[in-house]
Amino acid sequence: MEIPYIFTPRKDTGMCNSKIAIWLFLASEVMLFGGFFSSYVYLRLGADYPWPERALPVLPGLINTFVLIFSSVTVVFAWAALKLRKWGMFQLCMGITIACAAIFMGLKGIEYNVKWHHQAVRLTDYTILEGHLDKDPKAIDAKGQPYEADVIHVNAEKLTFSTVRFHKPWVEEIIRQAEAGKATVALAEELSLQGQKLPAGTKLSVDLLEAIQKNHLKSRANNADVRTDALRGEWVAAKAKAENAGKQGWEMAPNINIDPAKIANSIMVETPSVSFVVTPPTNLWFKHRDIKEGADQSRLRDDTAIIGKLQDSPVAFHNLDAIDFRHVVMQAEKKGIDPVKAIENTWLIKHSKEAKEAWEWNKAQTARLEQELLDKYGRDENNQPKRVPTLTERYRIGWKDFVAKADGVDKGKEKIHTSEEFMGPNYELREPKHTFPHLHIPRELVFLSGKFTPAWNTYYAIYFTMTFLHGLHVIGGAIVLGYYLFRGKKMYQSNPEWLANRVEVGGLFWHFVDLVWIFLFPILYLM
């Protein structure tokens, strides 16, 4: 079939169809990204925590900006090459464009990966700590590897599973851990299912729980039917009574009840939960997000109750690479407390010698910076210094500051390797100088613990949402442009103008992707 108006303009619009179509599509994209940009504005203005200004490493973002701008130039060159009928030139320019897309996504991947493996902990006193965790030798996973020291240990004596809600992989994990601890998990009391008796002492297995679940669901359905039938019977009988003649349903309702004795024979035993005893009581560990821990009883998210004493379950930092007091300061100012006093009363400063040293060092550095700014810019008419150190400089001790401290240089004068600008600190390289402290935090002080994922705070949530959506656009655009590059030869030979038009339309999309990044880069990396 002949497609009309591929590159000849339609009389009514004065344009070819594809151009109108792509601009309509880009208009809808404006609305899509616009929605997320306004989310960003509102999340930022409404944040009840110090917004992480300029928190991302600038270098990868800057390189990505250059890469995208460069690809925008090459894609328009590719179009011009087709207009000039230079196939080789088109191939070269389009190839570079797609390579740029690959570089962009590669850098994005590195950036995401670093975030995804970087630990953060917020203490109950609002101190925020960042770094990497130790391994916990008591928490061995299914592959025999120690898990990160951010788990909850419980000396389990008794487990009660919810028959309908138990989560299979977690049951399997409990069985595995009990076996590793040479303990048996066995049914606490005898249980009778239809036509089958399960003696006390039957070992826990997923099959067993599934059989109990099946029996429970069957009983529950049966009992519901029996009760409904009985109630229906009562209604029929009530309506037939002479004294109820002419009465409305709501008048009769209070007197209509099921007689339990009548249906006792048809009712089957329901088992909404089932208990198992752990002998001897053994240590089980759980990921902190799966459990709500208590001193004597804890509960998993699938409603499994664990009776047993909570064990020492610290969050153990192998490398503590940032201490952030900005949230402490924010809370202190709300309550009218002196921020420095509030910081010096935190658990961290009172309990960690290294953290105290780092804080004192940072205080001295801030004082130096304050003096420098005063010398340089002077005071205003109210005798206040014109420029003062930022909140970040005052109250956040970042990894670069730890490096500066270890190297014995002033803040901002530290030597950072280029790879560290992408990947974060090189711990092995910094190890000999004990640049980054170790730290054990008692579990009861941990308010929130997690990696820098969307779950950490609204900044990372919107950062990942917007950059991921943008990344999808980069991939989609690269696929379309790649199609023209690798499959366009035939079209070029039969009708070069057609291919030129397609590349122009694909290029318009590509420029739009660049245009979005032009805004994303400053708002996420520089502001």
Shortest Cβ distance from residue 203 to another protein (Å)?
54
Cα 445 off chain centre by: 22
Q: In this structure, are strands 315-324 and 439-441 parallel, antiparallel, or unpaired?
A: antiparallel
Query: Of the ranges 147-155, 279-287, 433-441, 519-527, which one interacts with another protein (CB under 8 A)?
Result: 519-527
Q: Which residue's CB is nearer to another protein, number 35 or number 201?
A: 35
Q: Does 23 bind another protein (CB under 8 A)?
A: yes
Q: Which residue's CB is nearer to another protein, number 43 or number 140?
A: 43
Interacting residues with another protein between 367 and 426 (CB under 8 A): 373, 386-393
Query: Of the ranges 57-65, 264-272, 347-355, 474-482, which one interacts with another protein (CB under 8 A)?
Result: 57-65
- How many Å apart are CA 202 and CA 200, to the nearest integer? 6
Shortest Cβ distance from residue 8 to another protein (Å)?
13
- Output the six-digit token pair for 287: 């990921």
Q: Where are the alpha helices (DSSP H) in 301-390?
A: 326-335, 339-344, 347-351, 353-377
Candidate list 169, 199, 201, 522; residue touching another protein; CB under 8 A: 522
Candidate list 53, 225, 251, 296; residue touching another protein; CB under 8 A: 53
Q: Which residue's CB is nearer to another protein, number 377 or number 486?
A: 377
- How many Å apart are CA 485 and CA 101, to the nearest integer? 14
Q: How many CA atoms lie within 13 A of 344 on its CB side?
A: 9
- CA nearest to 297, candidates 307, 289, 287, 311: 307
Shortest Cβ distance from residue 384 to another protein (Å)?
11
Q: Which residue's CB is nearer to another protein, number 116 or number 377?
A: 377
For residue 418, CA distances in Å to 249, 319, 422 come to: 81, 20, 7
Q: Which residue's CB is nearer to another protein, number 297 or number 392?
A: 392
Q: Which residue's CB is nearer to another protein, number 20 or number 337?
A: 20
Residues with Cβ within 8 Å of residue 522, at least 6 apart in sequence: none
- The CA-based diameter of the chain, rounded to the nearest angstrom, is 102
Phi, psi of 497 (to 5 degrees): -65, -35
- Running DSSP on this structure, what letter comes out for residue 159? E
Candidate list 5, 36, 49, 70; residue touching another protein; CB under 8 A: 70
Cis peptide before 272 (omega within 30 of 0): no
Q: Which residue's CB is nearer to another protein, number 13 or number 113?
A: 13
Q: How many residues bind another protein (CB under 8 A)?
A: 55
Q: How many CA atoms lie within 13 A of 100 on its CB side?
A: 25
Q: Does 46 bind another protein (CB under 8 A)?
A: yes
Interacting residues with another protein between 75 and 114 (CB under 8 A): 76-77, 80, 83-84
- How many Å apart are CA 16 and CA 8, to the nearest integer? 6
- Output the six-digit token pair for 429: 């390289």
Q: Does 10 bind another protein (CB under 8 A)?
A: no
List contacts with another protein (CB under 8 A): 13-15, 19-20, 23-24, 26-28, 30-31, 34, 38, 42, 44-46, 53-54, 58, 62, 65-66, 69-70, 72-73, 76-77, 80, 83-84, 373, 386-393, 507-508, 511-512, 514-515, 518-519, 521-523, 526-527
